[in-house]
Structure 1
């Protein structure tokens, strides 16, 4: 269990450090930086890296919503879910903390941490209902793909690639809506360092992904999205 805990800490660190790091350090507008497409790819490629590097140890959930879906699909116990969730939040905090230390070393840093948000002054200024709906639906689809790609009979060598590409697609659609969470740990880490609106809006990025992940797990357990 220690190896599993450590793998989830490191894997979630990879996701937050490289995904949010692309937004904070390299984002720009596509001319002076990687742009929205580059940020989307950074999150997706981080998942691919962690899946192949650490997946054999823990499955590389890196996300409490994914672990919740796996638990409700009948693939893990409640106790193991708790271990995964704690490790994921810790990894996100460490990733955000290191990113904060690096970003704050630049005179041009504006204080951004790649946080999630909605409403006036954020992205496309979508309202809270749009944010809740997008996060719940996107997480449902994301966890459904994960459960399908890792079920018996699937091609195990391609699971990490399928999962990473799915997260990339979700970001391509959703960065302007919420910055894309689909992962409570990914939202908690940067928000605790950024403070302000990121903290006050954090409930959306905990609640909606957990609901989406839970529904995906229940649908899989019921056989709706599971190969028979």
Structure 2
């Protein structure tokens, strides 16, 4: 493995760890203090900060669905995609473990069955069905992956690329928190579910499969709206 590839894999591990610890942590610890809007902003701002910190190193995917979209769009090869997936899932589990350790020090805070995990049916704030949850997660992930593909010319996040990505994730959470708790990220869903147990694990499959479908759809549509050989139009060209 080349040194640049090693740095990218480490960046994806660390970035996913931090996303889970801080953003999911805002839901686990701070939901009653900041509300759903505050949690949505925490996710958006965390991804925005990470985009600037590790975007030039790895592209700041920190999400297997985004990596799949990049792979399907021909932006990365299979080898790098697999390395990213391993790093992302490992980072999410490590971040959830650190968060769980922290939460154990907070008297009276219950973690079993919830712990920032995603859900549908009785685990949805609005009672969303499984089919509705699959549709919601697919469409929400499509938006995130589509924005990432649209604002990046290849893999790296440069300049102001991180701003629309962070804003998109914030909006996605504003819409998605009442529906499913918002996954749009299989790694983000896996980490907390392992510590929540129960229905969080039995429903986990949906929050792995639906985001991957959304990422694939984004990769297909981006070929229609942003052809690979067509230069991007800037404000100066308009």
**Which band: TM-score by shorter chain?**
over 0.9
1:15 is matched with which residue? Answer: 19
Report the counterpart of residue 88 of structure 1 in structure 2: 88
Deviates more, 1:169-178 or 1:211-220: 211-220
Gaps of 5+ in 1: none
Q: How many angstroms does 1:224 deviate by? A: 2.9
Match of 2:116 in 1: 114
- CA deviation after TM superposition for structure 1 residue 218, in Å: 2.0
Return the alpha-carbon distance in structure 1 between the equivalents of residues 122 and 186 of structure 2.
Answer: 22
Q: 1:132 aligns with which of 131, 134, 143?
A: 134
Secondary structure of the residue aligned to 2:193 is helix
* CA shift for structure 1 position 24: 0.7
TM-score (norm 1): 0.93
Q: Post-superposition shift, 1:225?
A: 4.1
Give 1:149 shift: 0.8
Instruction: Give the superposition deviation at 1:113.
Output: 1.3
Deviates more, 1:117-126 or 1:161-170: 117-126
**Contact residue 149 and residue 156 of structure 1 kept, 8 A:** no
Deviation (angstroms), 1:156: 3.7
RMSD, aligned CA: 1.4
2:117 pairs with 1:141:
no
- Per the alignment, in what secondary structure is the counterpart of residue 184 of structure 2? coil
Q: How many residues align?
A: 221
- CA distance, structure 2, for counterparts of residue 225 and residue 189 of structure 1: 34
CA contact (8 A) 2:55 2:158 kept: no
Residue 182 (structure 1) aligns with: 184
1:203 aligns to what?
205
Identify if the C-alpha distance between structure 1 residues 139 and 105 changes in structure 2 by more than 3 Å, giving closer, same or farther: same
Q: Secondary structure at the match of 1:123?
A: coil
Structure-2-length-normalised TM-score: 0.90
Superposition deviation, residue 121 in structure 1: 4.2
* SS of structure 2 residue aligned to 1:151: coil
Deviations 1:25-62 (A, max 9, x none): 1110xxxx011000000100110111101111101000
Q: 1:121 to 1:135 in 2, by over 3 A?
A: closer
**Equivalent residues of 2:118, 2:207 under 8 A apart:** yes
Separation (CA, whole Å) in 2 of partners of 1:94 and 1:86? 12
In structure 2, what is the Cα distance between the partners aligned to 1:205 and 1:151?
Answer: 28
| 1:188-227 → structure 2 map (5 Å cutoff) | 188-220=190-222, 222-226=223-227
Q: Distance in 2 between matches of 1:49 and 1:190?
A: 22
1: CA distance, partners of 2:105 / 2:217: 42
Distance in 2 of aligned mates of 1:75 and 1:121: 36
Regions of 4+ moved over 6 Å: none
Any stretches of 5+ residues in structure 2 without a counterpart?
231-238
